[in-house]
Amino acid sequence: MDRALRTFAVVFGAASLTAVALGAHVAAHSGVGAQRWGLNLAAWILGATAAAGVARLAGPRAERVFVAAALLAVALTFAAEGLQGVHRWLQVGPVRVNAAELLMPAAVVALAAMDLRRPWPWVAAAAALLLLIAQPDASQATAVAVALVAAAAASPLRPVHRVAVAGLCAAAAAMAWIRPDPLAPVPEVEEIFRLAGEVSPMAAAVAAVSLATASAAPLMLSRRSRAPAPPALALGGYFLVSAVSPLLGAFPTPLVGIGVSPVLGFWLAAGLLVSLASRRAGAAAP
């Protein structure tokens, strides 16, 4: 692993751990049971372990596996009854996971790593956006749309095609925001920063900086290593939109808010990005 990749891993790991730990601290002091905030800490450890495995073991076919898994998981959310007409979750044993938050981060890295001059990645991307609009999940739909635009901008696509991608993704994101979302916010999930302000303004400030740092960390790799730029930019765009979305509606706050799916999802995507960069560096070595 080259120096830039190690720096990325350290920065992302430290910032994400700080965000998760402060979220757990705030939740604990806001009356949330240890069985809930403790899961976030456990998810960070599990996610870091899984990311190390993905970074070391993922091969050239891993991108297709992650895309297929994400599409299948999000599609399976419609098999469940849903909550007030909203379909975002899968029951995995005693834990309910948000399928998109768990697998879409790695999927956007995978899609951006493919040859975007071919139709297959865009067919899969369109399917992902349609599923997210149908759930509905404006936060995830917008995050994926921004990731796709960033990937297209850094790809060898012709300018006219990049403009078309931007227009279609903007239309998809707008459709997602138009769909009604009847769910009320859960304080420790969507409003964790409000609770943090009540518990400790300093904790709220440090958590915000930590979330922003972890979210922007992939952008380091777009210039400082041999990682292909489209995946790094796509993941950075996805992370940042996911982090900002709670300011615009009742959407889960990743890492800081209580919920294992984004913690695991952020780590899986980071591991896949490191794997791609390592493989690229190995291929370029004499």
pLDDT of residue 228: 63
pLDDT of residue 220: 87
Average pLDDT over residues 82-106: 92
Average pLDDT over residues 111-138: 96
Average pLDDT over residues 152-168: 95
Tell me the per-residue pLDDT of 220-245, one tens digit each, with 9 for 90 and over.
Answer: 887 654 556 899 999 999 999 999 99
pLDDT band at 82 (very low <50, low <70, confident <90, very high): confident
Tokens encoding 42: 């456990």
Tell me the per-residue pLDDT of 180-211, one tens digit each, with 9 for 90 and over.
Answer: 888 889 999 999 999 999 999 999 999 999 99
Beta-bridge partner residues of 92: 95
Average pLDDT over residues 111-126: 95
pLDDT of residue 3: 82
Please indicate whether residue 179 or residue 202 has the higher confidence score (pLDDT).
202
**Residue 166: exposure state from Cβ atoms within 10 A (0-12, 13-18, ≥19):** middle
CA distance 28 to 126: 40
Q: Share the mean pLDDT of the chain.
A: 93
Q: What is the pTM of this model?
A: 0.94
What percent of the chain has a predicted confidence (pLDDT) above 90?
Answer: 82
pLDDT of residue 282: 59
pLDDT band at 24 (very low <50, low <70, confident <90, very high): very high
pLDDT of residue 93: 82
pLDDT band at 285 (very low <50, low <70, confident <90, very high): very low
